[in-house]
Structure 1
Amino acid sequence: MNSNLPFIHRFQAMTVVCEVQIYGTADAKSVAAMIESNTRRLEEKYNFYSQSSWLNQVVNQRKTSTVTLDDESYTVFEVVRRLVDGTKGIFDPTVGTVKSLINKTPELDKSTAYESVKHFMGPQAWSLAEHTLTAPAFETQFDLGGVIKEFAVDQAINIAQSLGVSSALVNFGGDIRALGQKPDGSAFNVAVRNPNNKSEPWFSLPLVNAALTTSAHYERSFQFADQQSSHILSRYGTHPNVLSVSVLAPTALEAGALSTALTIDPKLEVPSDVGVVFIDDQLSIHQDTGFVAC
């Protein structure tokens, strides 16, 4: 295989098209197959919408207030907890609580739904220590949909790197991470779409040994009895001046959590090694929050 041309493998998982580009490796096909297999395993294990998933069987249908986590799940929840605390609870995996409530009682309006479960959501509703997840209220439900696709992207890079790959690009439905750079020494060039026209690239960013995710509230929605809400669920909604947020970070997991949180509170403080690009409601591009109305 020409080392300057990638081996490209595509598959459907986690409701999106997943693409793996691998450069300069004779075993690229087997590496890609391992990545796909692992991605499907993660999808099956952590799927909030599957009653047979580990997440629902063990965590959301728990019979006691504590759950003993396997090593992988403890790692996931540990990172999630750090992201929850780092975003002051704006990034909230217990959003599954309100989703479960609406699934059972779809006639509830948004305000009533959130009021009904407010004591079962947020950072105070759960804790983590020594491989043990503690969630005293059985009403507290976890939806890891905001992190597992990104976790799968990071694991894909880890798999590729462990098998000797030094140049690869993983893109799972717009959650992207680059391993190294292209064989010619150039960066991977990644485009971010126009929020009002998904077929139109709006700007691009170079990517080398970093991840890029974009969160936006224009593609998918969540239905309450009184209104259609963004799929990025928050009691007070996403910020009206923000159409999308793109975050450049060391890992896809960190980038994804921050891009989600920043659509709700764009003035949230971010780590020094993280870059942020906003597209506002006028389709202007910003790297700071001076455009945000008070």
Structure 2
Amino acid sequence: MTSYPSRRKFVTITAAAAGMGLLPFGAARGDDHATMVEWQGVSLGSVATIRLYHPDREVGRRLIERVVAEARRLEMIFTLYETDSVLCDLNRRGVLAAPPAELVDVLQQCDRAWHVTGGVFDPTVQPLWTFYYKHFAEVGETSPPPADKLAQSLQLVGWPKVKVSRDQIVFEKPGMALTLNGIAQGYITDRVVDLLREAGLESCLVDMGEIRALGAHPDGKPWNAALQGPIDTAKQPATVDLVNKAVATSAANGFQFDKSGQSNHIFNPVTGRCADPARALSVISDTAAFADALSTACALMEDRQIVELLKRAGGNRAFVSTAAGTVEL
């Protein structure tokens, strides 16, 4: 299998870095007994951070070890960057018997996102990634691929061509392939939060590529996130408060095939063309998986379409960031 460059979401852990990050906070304690325990690493190619407060630092550390191990296990189901992952096996064979329950769960969430976005969110766009990669890296082209060649790859795209059950997953056409890069980071974030909640935690902030807050900050205030545009500017980034909410950001220049950014990693499943590199879209939702999927779709939509989507989906907020700043739609 070809080793492709990483398609990272436009999300980072520090407000000073490009993308969306957490505003820095000091060594505040929720009370006289709880202390912050923090882990930093990488999950699905993105910077990952877990911050939690626990009265026993050693217990907090063991909790983090447990949830990080679970995140690693899930990563080996969903990743495209390890050839022995479950997803890579499915893409090679076009069929997978007795799939892991977590994979079926993610694909069911993909189905929900596909329906609510009118098909704009579509995990079957992986053949477009392969086509663009070969067009630019192997052929040495510098301009977008021609429509006639793009049309061939589009024949392999379409979520209804994937049949999913607890017993098996089957592709309708040879050559089809899935990418879960538009939802898996959010799904893993949700799983980590769920495990920490089950362990009794009431306050934590988890970023496994997308960000989700459990409760408020121990000082009683909301967790705070900074939303920045896709182009570095001197402007102060807009901020949003998070209490029992998740936020995800998608931006075309998370990975670019060309200098202009017009050819990038966010593909329209109907046209095969790519998202506008001058915009970043952030979505706040109850779960990181749904925020992840919606932000991916919103990156391909016009503002009026996003407003219509928010009405259909309900209970979500969307922000568009450009060099001029950030506005809520």
When normalised by structure 1's length, the TM-score is 0.86
* Unmatched tracts of structure 1, length 5 or more: 289-294
Q: Which amino acid aligns with 1:205?
A: V
The residue aligned with 2:40 is 10
1:217 is aligned to: 252
1:76 aligns with 2:117: no
Render the CA deviation track for 1:232-284: whole Å, top value 9, x for unaligned: 122232247x611110000010001111111101314122200111124x523
> Does 1:284 find its partner at 2:325?
yes
In the superposition, relative to structure 1, how do residues 133 and 91 fare at CA in structure 2: closer, same or farther (>3 Å)? same
Q: What's 1:62 paired with?
A: 93
Q: Match of 2:17?
A: none
Tell me by how many angstroms 1:135 deviates: 1.4
**Counterparts in 2 of 1:147 and 1:55: CA distance versus 1, 3 Å:** same
Cα deviation, residue 113, structure 1:
4.2
Q: Give yes or no for contact 1:217–1:230 (8 Å, CA) kept in 2.
A: yes
**Residue 114 of structure 1: aligned partner:** 150
Partner of 1:244: 280
How much does 1:43 deviate?
A: 2.1
Offset of residue 220 of structure 1:
1.6
Alignment partner of 1:90: what SS?
coil
Distance 1:76 1:272, change over 3 A: same
1:48 corresponds to: 80
Partner of 1:275: 317
Kindly provide the amino acid, as one letter, of the partner of residue 50 in structure 1. E
Query: Which residue, out of 219, 230, 241, partners 1:184?
Result: 219
2:128 match = 98
Identity across matched positions, percent: 23
CA-CA distance at 1:127 after TM superposition: 2.8
**Alpha-carbon distance, 1:99 to partner:** 2.4
Equivalent residue, structure 2, for 1:232:
266
**Whose strand fraction is larger, Structure 1's or Structure 2's?**
1
Answer 1 or 2: higher relative contact order, Cα 8 Å, separation at least 6.
2
Aligned partner of 1:292 in structure 2 is none
Which has the higher mean CA deviation after the structures are superposed, 17-26 or 96-105? 96-105
SS in 2 for 1:286: strand
- Measured on the aligned residues, the alpha-carbon RMSD in Å equals 2.6
Aligned residues: 282
Q: Give the whole-Å Cα distance in 2 for the aligned partners of 1:53 and 1:146.
A: 17
Q: Secondary structure at the match of 2:225?
A: strand
Q: What is the identity, as a one-letter code, of the residue corresponding to 1:51?
A: T
Q: CA deviation at 1:104?
A: 5.9
Alignment partners' CA distance in 2, 1:223 and 1:193: 22
**Quick one: which amino acid aligns to residue 282 of structure 2?**
S
Contact 2:94 2:175 in 1 (8 A): no
Q: Distance in 1 between matches of 2:33 and 2:240?
A: 23
Shift of 1:131: 4.2
Query: 1:134 offset after TM fit, Å?
Result: 2.8
* Residue 134 (structure 1) aligned with residue 170 (structure 2): yes
